Structure 1
């Protein structure tokens, strides 16, 4: 297939043009761009480039104007991106004005860039009439800045309501501190678009801490493969004192690239240069090794690569094998990590902000293996939740490219503790899991728990998914009707017992999207557990209850162990400890549960535990007493038992 006939996805096309996926779909329906394929929707690269050219020339300016309108109901101000409260208030006022007047985002950002450059003394505004007229500015300090602004202006096309943009210009008075242009762009961008692209801009403190860890006089070059508006590039200039000609940035968002270029010019006020920041898909087109690739010189040539990459499945999956053969998961951040290792020199430093799921989720075993084989992880910092509207906790991972060193220690940090663990341990873990919550003492306890004679659920249990209706609003009732049955959600599952039912359903399996064989629901007894959970929560059911897919089913068949005794272990402090230290990923996964060690116990202990569970199920009895008996079956010392209780309670 010729290069210009290559088919690209609708989301990729939207990023190339600088609009939302919904806008691209609307333009296709209206006939402004011809699809190459209807299902799934795709375009030829040539068609997208042609559309982009028409938008830039102004021949399709009405389309671009509508696409650039700021939708008031979807804008947010991410307080984590700026530390200056006065700056935030200034931007709030500007955004309010922009929304009220439905101004074009690209034009507003252009005006903001002009204002900042005038404040910096880059040029003088000589006329108050036409803000967008190049002749309104004189005494340019640098040719590079003038050329940058002129090229941007040519892309804007016709601008209406010039007087309203002039008022925007006057709004901008406070610019010190953070990346003003980046913050403004973040606020004007619709939340749905950022989420769809997996892109969330990075808080200043995280960027600063990341690059402070990279300070090394021997490091002379820096690259951000998904630079956004250039925050990492700005801090590389400020903290690492790297020369502008050795700073590189790439991003698929053309508007963000324009802002990043302005930001880097502002960071080096006394250098006349053209920034090495370009609109480019770094995964597909940067330093590919192909004969005509002009960026091949960057392969193995960079000292520091630092970024907050997009998260989520890579949208243009058809090209995965050719540029990221080690990564089978299709995860975007994994491919950026692998790409960055290729760009680094031996001894170079990588620093990435990543979702905490990279540490243990089986899907990410491929990139963990790559990191362990090609680098020495120097630090992992647990950062918690950092992004407005994103519930996923994040980490920072720092890695030095190079061969393994015996007994290499990784520093593990959070806001309260710091300790070190050997990298070699990760090689021995299932799926190369980075079990950073396990220090030496915890590792010793886990080892003791698994050394005892035990059996697991592997090949000793049946599992079933709760009902997936496909449309809960249609099928789930909030009151009981004739012939409707109670159905339990994950939130209804409490330790040992199900809550009183709050939801009901007419059980018509043929109507649902997915449903387990009915026999699982109708068993005389079964266990029900929360699927989405940071801890183990299992309940006993002997009423043949129905469950939704947030409350899944386990039927243990452990030799010489009743279902109630299995329940005692699954809700015990010991198993909570094992789950938290080895598997905690906000989901209770079958593969993890099949590794839990159920000790082989004598009949007397078994019967004691069973009676204790029966009393608890009746609303009486002592959970603590049952837990003590579970502890005794593992032959733990009082010190180890105390450590487990402390960790679980905290």
Structure 2
């Protein structure tokens, strides 16, 4: 048995490989190169180990060895393996060689890896620079990865590589600031959403803006047997590729992840209607501007385009068309229309959705009148990459038996850990939110169960402070003490002034 490789060792080599690009390329771009290389190294090492096992098992019988290899998760010819690319690391056309290998790898595994590598170019002058600099960077990355052994017998637990992949995505998201939030939801927030929706065995779980897929994996992990079916859609091609690799590295081989704009072109359909899911989670882009441009067709160049409910063949906007500059309720309505009877969904949104008027107010009223909203949870500020604004989670459920709505204000300083660049939810903070939600109770200065009538009286405004009073009374001011402090300060000042006069006298001024 080889010596085990730890997650820390893998992470260290990965971060070292990332150093090759740092300072030259934006981390929101170079992450694709590092994570693709990690995936290729993992596939190559696993295949290499299995080939050694089959050679022993079948006493070198080539026919039986090849038959066994063809049943592996991935088919890898010699000229697409990491070892082959490493042997070519000094070739002046190394970028081209890597591209060809990835293209061939896709073609050989078209059912599983179709389109995974199409959006990444290892020979790109515009991203990686001119030939000399580009070749030197690629050689350095191949040399760094060559230090890693990712054979299953050496790595041990299957999820070690998945954890490292996740670790890198989170590091890149943190590095990339605003752009980081586009492909990654902070781990603890994903954990909270996953616990709130409580998935069950055989559920179909869906994320319409799935980013790198980490949120979906968190939800799947809530089911001990992992017997769930995962669906997602992502608009950004590179991020979609990351999500597919992420699934395989977490041993989820049957995830159905589509590439495209969920609002104008939803791709999870059944009999030309939106597919229904038992659990839905999402962290859509906050207040997405021009969210409806995909519906514009030929008129897209015409700035006068105005979205109309009739343009959507799936009739998702009949409760109201969200403002063109704020797509929040477009995603909410898409999710509600995709939610199965009795299904539950939780989504992260900016606080504006709770109280903004016009068409958003109309949509909100409709959702409340249909008794679909189960809870509103206010989160601490500074949890998300690239934005300091506090967000909330809205939990929805179809066929609710109760008519109340639970409000939780988890934004107080006792409910999170302050970080230098980013605040964090601790385990106890998540547990407190989940327990309060499951028990559905009013807790002074933390949560409040509001009746339908109270919400109506508030004109369907869901702003959390209207329901949860977190006001702390300040201790009464002791005026005698204040007066004494002022007198003390005055006499101190007098003393300093006298000293100053003495010094000036000594200096003859």
Scaled to the shorter chain, the TM-score interval is 0.5 to 0.7
1:267 to partner: Cα distance:
2.2
SS of residue matched to 1:346 = strand
Rounded to whole Å, the distance in 1 between the matches of 2:368 and 2:338 is 17
Rounded to whole Å, the distance in 1 between the matches of 2:107 and 2:345 is 34
User: Aligned pair 1:111/2:42, yes or no?
Assistant: no
TM-score, normalised by the number of residues in structure 2: 0.57
Deviations 1:509-561 (A, max 9, x none): xxxxxxxxxxxxxxxxxxxxxxxxxx9xxxxxxxxxxxxxxxxxxxxxxxxxx
Partner of 2:260: 280
1:372 to partner: Cα distance:
1.3
Deviations 1:30-59 (A, max 9, x none): xxxxxxxxxxxxxxxxxxxxxxxxxxxxxx
User: Aligned pair 1:329/2:308, yes or no?
Assistant: no
Rounded to whole Å, the distance in 2 between the matches of 1:146 and 1:308 is 30
Query: Which of 188, 206, 231 is the matching residue for 2:189?
Result: 206
Distance 1:157 1:176, change over 3 A: closer
Partner of 1:378: 374
Deviations 1:85-124 (A, max 9, x none): 9887665544332125659734333213223445666777
Contact 1:226 1:308 in 2 (8 A): yes
1:356-367, aligned counterparts within 5 Å? Answer: 356-362=351-357, 364-367=360-363
Partner of 1:310: 285
User: Aligned pair 1:424/2:452, yes or no?
Assistant: yes
Query: Which of 465, 479, 483 is the matching residue for 1:437?
Result: 465
SS of residue matched to 1:177 = helix
**Which deviates further from its counterpart, 344-353 or 299-308?**
299-308
Rounded to whole Å, the distance in 2 between the matches of 1:118 and 1:297 is 40
SS of residue matched to 1:432 = coil
Residue correspondences, number: 347
Q: What do you get for the CA RMSD once the two structures are aligned?
A: 4.1
Deviations 1:274-297 (A, max 9, x none): x3111110011116xxxxx95556
Distance 1:355 1:233, change over 3 A: same
Deviations 1:200-241 (A, max 9, x none): 621111111211222243661011000001012212332235
| Greater relative CO (CA pairs within 8 A, separation 6+) | 2
SS of residue matched to 1:395 = strand
Structure 2: unaligned runs, 5 residues or longer: 1-6, 48-73, 90-96, 124-133, 150-159, 296-306, 416-428, 437-441, 443-447, 475-482, 484-509
Partner of 1:177: 163
Rounded to whole Å, the distance in 1 between the matches of 2:17 and 2:38 is 10
Deviations 1:393-412 (A, max 9, x none): 1122211023x645435252
1:352 to partner: Cα distance:
0.5
Rounded to whole Å, the distance in 1 between the matches of 2:42 and 2:234 is 23
1:535-574, aligned counterparts within 5 Å? Answer: none
Partner of 1:398: 395
Deviations 1:447-484 (A, max 9, x none): xxxxxxxxxxxxxxxxxxxxxxxxxxxxxxxxxxxxxx
Rounded to whole Å, the distance in 2 between the matches of 1:398 and 1:207 is 14
Rounded to whole Å, the distance in 2 between the matches of 1:192 and 1:267 is 26
Query: Which of 136, 143, 162 is the matching residue for 1:167?
Result: 143
Distance 1:125 1:426, change over 3 A: farther
Partner of 2:62: none
1:181 to partner: Cα distance:
5.4
Contact 2:376 2:408 in 1 (8 A): yes
Contact 1:327 1:335 in 2 (8 A): yes
